[in-house]
Structure 1
């Protein structure tokens, strides 16, 4: 049966022959729907993996006829999400033509939507495909360390046409070149006095007119904790007066010693606005106004803030590259 399906994709067996031979062999060889589905998905995956860009409509028709000919319910074929993965790959292959070949977005969407007529994808998978293509384009644009104006226009055209946001990226795109491009575009707009208008899903209270610039997820807040103890020795004698009561003579000679350590407050969202830094997690919510900042120490994986306090304590936010925050603070406070 596997060889029969391979011959279909090689073009030496027609869809009608495939349908006839599977139907004829079902009973004498005790083939269940699960048997046929397992073999079909394996062979279809091999075919999809063999495809190279650019994709075309004839490949979609080949897949569509195959699914119709084997006579297996779609839900069974896709029980483990195999068809979703194949469909998403094909969908992305048509979308990438926007960057690779300059195909207008209107035609790109027509071609990409033709995949949906063969392998339906839900909106979550579609959005994920759009972001995957955009992330790959961003990595390519940043390979030379510089994004040209034309490359920026392509990204702006892509996102505006599809109605997707660079300021609220899915988790699988938050460590790639797309983040750096999105942040670079925000910084360029801030230089021109243009602030982003980002929705906020974190339960914090903004002041009137305050604008959200960026939200980092999975940031860990650490704060300095100071403990004090006395060390030293004593001299003298103890006299038992009665049960549970002792009188001690002599003196104690010692001195206080302070010890500091960084303790984890929690892991949550770190929000940058045009007026404040916010941190929110299930156990704590912190607001740091820019006017209370006296200094910042950037690290490769976070930022230490120094606040104007009577007894200042070290406060560190860990889990992001500090360059963007430093640039934002420089622009909004200039």
Structure 2
């Protein structure tokens, strides 16, 4: 006869849990996350949250080690709810940041659950730009491979960005290797070889991978072989993609350039609105 993994009491033949205990455990976890979410949104006292979660955990057979996970998941759900209307208010941002600091949660810990901290930062940056402000929220450790201009501000940095270019390839169709035609005994006339008609095809290729920096003046890219910057007023068209953005420079010889950032919605909105400031 096995014992219940929740309450530790006998569970019956070939059983490892009581139905009631398992349900109490699941409901307790949900309540802990919901309570943490309400605190992150400023609807519940952050000072007493730890005690609330400890009490729920004790009544629901939940290990105290799960309290921090509940704090992280609660933050994630609070960010998700704050962004339901597409806009992050200053009050919502302040409450979420206070929550993060109150429980000493790191960016890596919060980003481990749906990238919630980065989503918060992006929403705050986009709000600043829409209000005509140049955000100065991004702090980079180490040296960047860019030479920013005077008074130029880094707004966002993407890493591991795939950069695509359009290439035109030419091949020939209908060519011949040439043939020998006998015109008299022992005399041959050779018809020369020709390459046929040229046929051009356009294809998009992965040209490089590297950093993509978004500033208040330019888009910068730095990869292993490709390094360039593009001023906003040189861009004729922005094309949104699910996972990136395409740009078309205002030049007769320019070809489309595509950057796969992993977040097309944010990339498109931030560069388009920066170009209008």
* Matched-pair contact (CA < 8 Å) for 2:167–2:204: yes
Of 112, 124, 137, the match for 1:196: 137
Of 299, 303, 314, the match for 2:245: 303
CA–CA distance in 1 between the matches of 2:41 and 2:75? 12
Of 156, 160, 176, the match for 1:214: 156
Relative to the length of structure 2, the TM-score reads 0.64
Q: State the match for 1:39 in structure 2.
A: 16
* Matched-pair contact (CA < 8 Å) for 1:278–1:286: yes
CA–CA distance in 2 between the matches of 1:172 and 1:225? 39
CA–CA distance in 2 between the matches of 1:42 and 1:207? 63
Structure 2 gap ranges (5+): 183-187
Cα deviation 1:235-285 (Å, max 9, x = unaligned)? 974389xxxxx99444748443221112245777654344433365xxx56
Q: State the match for 1:327 in structure 2.
A: 270
Of 193, 215, 221, the match for 1:278: 221
* Matched-pair contact (CA < 8 Å) for 1:220–1:266: yes
Alpha-carbon deviation of 1:186?
Answer: 0.8
Residue 121 in 1 paired to residue 60 in 2? no
3-state DSSP class of the match of 1:205? coil
* Matched-pair contact (CA < 8 Å) for 1:237–1:248: yes
3-state DSSP class of the match of 1:263? strand
3-state DSSP class of the match of 1:153? helix
Of 160, 165, 168, the match for 1:226: 168
Alpha-carbon deviation of 1:185?
Answer: 1.2
Change over 3 Å in CA distance of 1:331–1:312 after alignment to 2: closer
Residue 187 in 1 paired to residue 126 in 2? yes
Kindly report the root-mean-square deviation, in angstroms, between the aligned alpha carbons of the 2 structures: 4.9
3-state DSSP class of the match of 1:184? helix
Change over 3 Å in CA distance of 1:325–1:143 after alignment to 2: closer
Residue 96 in 1 paired to residue 37 in 2? yes
Relative to the length of structure 1, the TM-score reads 0.56
CA–CA distance in 1 between the matches of 2:20 and 2:228? 57
Q: State the match for 1:69 in structure 2.
A: none
Q: Aligned pair count?
A: 261
CA–CA distance in 2 between the matches of 1:317 and 1:168? 27
Give 1 or 2: higher strand fraction.
2
Change over 3 Å in CA distance of 1:230–1:158 after alignment to 2: same
* Matched-pair contact (CA < 8 Å) for 2:88–2:123: no
Cα deviation 1:212-250 (Å, max 9, x = unaligned)? 43345775443223211233456974389xxxxx99444
Cα deviation 1:101-145 (Å, max 9, x = unaligned)? 7333222245446789972438xx83x544422231233233345
CA–CA distance in 2 between the matches of 1:285 and 1:112? 52
* Matched-pair contact (CA < 8 Å) for 1:96–1:133: yes
CA–CA distance in 1 between the matches of 2:207 and 2:71? 36
Residue 315 in 1 paired to residue 257 in 2? yes
Q: State the match for 2:230 in structure 1.
A: 290
Change over 3 Å in CA distance of 1:48–1:306 after alignment to 2: same
Alpha-carbon deviation of 1:303?
Answer: 1.1
Change over 3 Å in CA distance of 1:228–1:200 after alignment to 2: farther
Alpha-carbon deviation of 1:194?
Answer: 3.5
Segment drifting more, 130-139 vs 95-104: 95-104
CA–CA distance in 1 between the matches of 2:276 and 2:112? 30
Give 1 or 2: higher helix fraction.
1
